Amino acid sequence: MMRITGWLALSLGMTLVAACDTADDDPLDGIDDTFVSDGKTDVAGVEDKSPAACALLRVAREASFDELDDDVRLNAKAARAIVAAREDDFLPTLAALDAVRYIGPAAVRRLDTYAKAHSAYACGSQQVQVLATNDFHGNLKPPSGSSGRITTAVGTPPTTVDAGGAEYLATHLAALRATNPQTVTVAAGDVIGATPLISALFHDEPTIESMNAAGLDVAGVGNHEFDEGPDELLRMAYGGCHPTDGCQDGDAFAGASFGYLAANVVVDDSGETLFPPYEIRAFRAARVAFIGLTLEGTPNIVTPAGVAGLSFTDEIQTVNALVPELKRQGVETIVVLLHEGGFATGLYNECAGISGPVFDIARGFDPEVDVVVAGHTNAAHLCDIDGKLVTSAASFGRLITDIDLTIDEVTGEVSAKTAQNVIVTRTVAKDAAQTALITKYDTLVAPLANRVVGTITGDLTRLANAAGESLMGDVIADAQLAATRAPAQGASVLALMNPGGVRADLTVAQITGGEQPGQITYGEAFTVQPFGNAVVSMSITGAELDAVLEQQWTLVGGVRRVAMLAPSAGLTYTWTAASADGDKVSDIRLAGVPIDPAARYRITVNSFLADGGDGFTVLKQGIDRIGGEVDLDALTAYLTATSPLAPPTLGRITMR
C-alpha cells in the first residue's frame, strides 16, 4: 500500500490510500477505494455533521443511478455501488459512505460539488408528526359509560364528552394525517387483549384488521398482547388461521400490516427479542427511531403460560443500551413506546398530580430520548420530564396524542416538540371501512353470542340490600375465586368484586337469542362484565384487607363515595353505619375464623381494582401478583360448572 503525498493530498485536505481497483476512468478516481480521516474533517475537506455533509449524503441516498452516473459524474461502478449499499444501509455518515467500495475522496468531492450546485439537496428542518394511542383493547364499537367519556372540565358534575369507537378514531386519524404527510401512527401496547365480545370471540383478529385499516404503523407490545401466549401473538403479527378454531370469519387472516416492537422481551431459547427492538423511519436526512417495550413486570400480571419461555428486561437498561447502537446509525431522535404508566389528577391535556413508575423510568432514560409514549394505567397527561415529552392518551381510543417534532437535518436533533391530546369525538363522519368491518363481525358474532353457557334457577340482580350486598356481585366474586383457587392460578382464598364492574342483571325470564327461560347466553354474560379486565391474584395482610374494606367509604375528588365490594363465599364482615369513616368495619372472618392482621392472604380482584381503581389504593400494595384469565371467562366457566345455579343467600355483609 502506497501513501499519497504532494499536491493531491494537499488539495483534498487529508491522507489518501491507493486503491487496488480503479473506480473511475478519471485518473483522480483511480485511488477512490479508501481514505484516512483525521477524525474531524472527512473526505474532500467536508466536515461531518455540517450542512455540506448533510447535502452530500442526501445526494448519495436519494439520487438515482442515472443521476449519479451521468450528472454527478461517478463512473458506473461507483454509482452502482452506492445504490446497492443504500438498500441495506442509510449511509448515515461520511464514514459509512467511505465504506462503500469504489468510493473515496474524489468521488465524494464530486458528490459535494453536485450537492452545492443543486439546492434541492440542501438540508434544513423536517416537521414530523407522531399520532399516538395506547390501551385500545379492541374497542371497535364506542365504549359505554365512563369508559366512553373524557372529562373536559371539573365541576359537580364534571363536564364530559362522549369519545371513542373505531369508526370515529379512523376519521380523526385521517384528518390529523392530512395536516402533515410526514406522519407516523403508533401505539404503546394493549392494542389487543381484554377486548369486547366482537373482537374477543374471534381471537382479536377484528382488532388487528381494524388497526390495519386505520393506518397504524408501529406498536410496542403491552402485557395484554401476551394473554394467549407468544405463539398467538406471533400469529397476530404475521397471520394465519387460529390453530384450534381456524378462520372463523371464513377468510384468511393476514396479520398486522403494522410492525410490533419488543425491545425488552427476550426468547430464552435464542436470546433474541420476540419482535424487533426498534424501527427507524427516515424523513429526508432526519431519522427517527421508535423503540417499543412493555413493563418489566409483565410476568407478574399475565398468566404463566402467556409468558412461558420469555424473559422481560429492565426498561431503563434496555433503552439506554440501544442508544449508542442507534447513534451509530445516524439516529439522534428517539421515541420510546413504553407500556408502563402512571397516574395524573389533571385534565387530559395537563400534567397535574402525577405519580407512578413511568415518570421515574423516563428520568432514568438516556437524555438522547426525546419522547416517551406511555400506557398501561389508562391515564391522560402531557408532561415534560427532564426534557423528555411523556404522554398518555387514556384508553379505548378516546384520545389521540398529536406530537409534532421539528428535526434539524444537519444534526438530527429535535429542535422543537409540542403535543396535544385530541378527543376522538363522535360528531365526525364514520369511517366507511371501519363500519363495514364492524357490520361484518356483528353478523358473525350473533350465533356465538347466543351460545348457552349455563342455567340459573333465580334472578341474579345488581340491586344491593341495605348492607350493600348484591346477588350478581356475589356470584362474580365466587366465579373469580373459583378461577384462582388452584396453586398454579393464584392459590387464592377469597375474592372481592367492585360494584361498578357489574353492568347488568341475569334473569330467568331474559331471552336474547331464542334460549329457554333460565338459560344464560354468552352474550348475556358478556353484558354483565363487558370490560375485559383480567383477574389478578395477590398477597395482602389481614390488616391491609381491613384497610381495603374501610376504603369502601372514602372521598374521591372531594366527594364522599360509597362502593361496597362483593365478597366471595366464606368471607364475612360487619360494618357500623354510625361509626366514622375509616373505622366502620369489624369482625372480618374467613370460613368463620377471624382474620389475623399479621398473616398474609391470597386474594383475587380484577385488574381495575388491582391498580387501585375506584379509590381502593391499598390494593396497589399487594405483592406476588399473578395475572389470570379475563373476568368474563371466569364467569362463564363458573356458570357452566355450577349449572343449574341457585342464587346465593345474602348475608356475607351485615350492617348494624
Q: What is the mean pLDDT of residues 258-283?
A: 98
Residues composing the chain:
656
Q: What is the mean pLDDT of residues 346-363?
A: 96
CA gap 538, 607 in Å, rounded? 11
Q: Which among 168, 89, 69, 651 has a CA at the least distance from the CA of 434?
A: 168
pTM score? 0.77
Q: What CA dihedral angle connects 306, 375, 281 and 210, to 10 degrees?
A: 70
Q: What is the mean pLDDT of residues 259-284?
A: 98
CATH 3.60.21.10 given to domain 125-435 = yes
CA gap 358, 350 in Å, rounded? 16
Between these two residues, 167 and 504, which has the higher pLDDT value?
167
Band of the pLDDT at 643, cuts 50, 70, 90?
A: very high
User: What are the pLDDT digits (tens) for 565-577?
Assistant: 999 999 999 999 9
Q: Which among 442, 399, 445, 395 has a CA at the least distance from the CA of 141?
A: 442
How confident is the model at residue 169, as a pLDDT? 98
How confident is the model at residue 44, as a pLDDT? 57
Q: What is the mean pLDDT of residues 37-49?
A: 58
How confident is the model at residue 194, as a pLDDT? 78
Task: Compute the radius of gyration of the chain from its Cα atoms.
Answer: 30
CA angle at 523 for the pair 306 and 562, rounded to the nearest 5°: 80
How confident is the model at residue 196, as a pLDDT? 80
Band of the pLDDT at 4, cuts 50, 70, 90?
A: very low
Query: How far are the Cα atoms of 443, 450, 482, 528, 567 from residue 199, in angstroms, in the given order?
Result: 12, 16, 25, 17, 30
Query: How far are the Cα atoms of 167, 233, 523 from residue 442, in angstroms, in the given order?
Result: 14, 24, 12
CA angle at 599 for the pair 597 and 603, rounded to the nearest 5°: 95
Q: Which among 517, 464, 510, 501 has a CA at the least distance from the CA of 635?
A: 501
Query: How far are the Cα atoms of 188, 261, 353, 619 from residue 608, in angstroms, in the given order?
Result: 19, 26, 20, 10
- DSSP-based three-state secondary structure for 20: coil
Share of the chain above pLDDT 70, in %: 93
* Residue listed under C-alpha cell 374521591: 556
Band of the pLDDT at 411, cuts 50, 70, 90?
A: very high
CA gap 279, 298 in Å, rounded? 22
Band of the pLDDT at 556, cuts 50, 70, 90?
A: low
Q: Tell me, letter by letter, the H, E, C secondary structure of 356-417.
A: CHHHHHHHHCCCCEEEEEECCCCCEEEEEECCEEEEEECCCCCEEEEEEEEEECCCCCEEEE
Q: What is the mean pLDDT of residues 38-57?
A: 74
Q: Is the pLDDT of residue 26 over 60?
A: no
- Grid coordinates in use for 48? 461531518
Between these two residues, 559 and 551, which has the higher pLDDT value?
551
User: What are the pLDDT digits (tens) for 566-609?
Assistant: 999 999 999 999 999 999 999 999 999 999 999 999 999 998 89
Bridge partners (DSSP) listed for residue 183:
129
398 HSE (CA, 13 A, CB side): 24
Bridge partners (DSSP) listed for residue 497:
566
User: What are the pLDDT digits (tens) for 203-226?
Assistant: 999 999 999 999 999 999 999 899
How confident is the model at residue 10, as a pLDDT? 31
**For residues 75-103, b (16+ Cβ closer than 10 Å) or e, as one string?**
bebbbbbbbebbeeebbbbbebbbebbbb
Band of the pLDDT at 21, cuts 50, 70, 90?
A: very low
How confident is the model at residue 503, as a pLDDT? 77
Find the helix packing angle between 51-62 and 76-86, rounded to 10°: 90
Q: Name, in order, each residue with C-beta under 8 angstroms of 34's C-beta and a sequence gap of 6 or more.
A: 17, 19, 98, 104
Between these two residues, 628 and 149, which has the higher pLDDT value?
149
Q: Is the pLDDT of residue 181 over 50?
A: yes
Band of the pLDDT at 629, cuts 50, 70, 90?
A: confident
Q: Is the pLDDT of residue 230 over 50?
A: yes
Q: Is the pLDDT of residue 6 over 50?
A: no
CATH 3.90.780.10 residue window(s) in the chain: 450-655
CATH match for 450-655 among 3.40.440.10, 3.90.780.10, 3.90.550.10, 3.30.70.890: 3.90.780.10
Query: How far are the Cα atoms of 261, 476, 635 from residue 454, in angstroms, in the given order?
Result: 40, 14, 10
Phi, psi (deg, nearest 5) at residue 164: 100, 170
Band of the pLDDT at 301, cuts 50, 70, 90?
A: confident
CA angle at 452 for the pair 446 and 455, rounded to the nearest 5°: 145
Phi, psi (deg, nearest 5) at residue 417: -150, 135
Between these two residues, 19 and 385, which has the higher pLDDT value?
385
Q: What is the DSSP string of 75-137?
A: -HHHHHHHHHHHTT----SHHHHHTSTT--HHHHHHHHHHHHH-GGG---EEEEEEEEE---T
Q: Is the pLDDT of residue 48 over 60?
A: yes
Share of the chain above pLDDT 90, in %: 78
Band of the pLDDT at 43, cuts 50, 70, 90?
A: low
Q: Is the pLDDT of residue 40 over 50?
A: no
Q: Name, in order, each residue with C-beta under 8 angstroms of 289's C-beta and a sequence gap of 6 or more.
A: 278, 279, 280, 326, 331, 333, 334, 335
Between these two residues, 150 and 502, which has the higher pLDDT value?
150
Q: Name, in order, each residue with C-beta under 8 angstroms of 279's C-beta and a sequence gap of 6 or more.
A: 218, 259, 261, 289, 290, 292
Q: Which among 193, 179, 176 has a CA at the least distance from the CA of 134?
A: 193
CATH 3.60.21.10 residue window(s) in the chain: 125-435
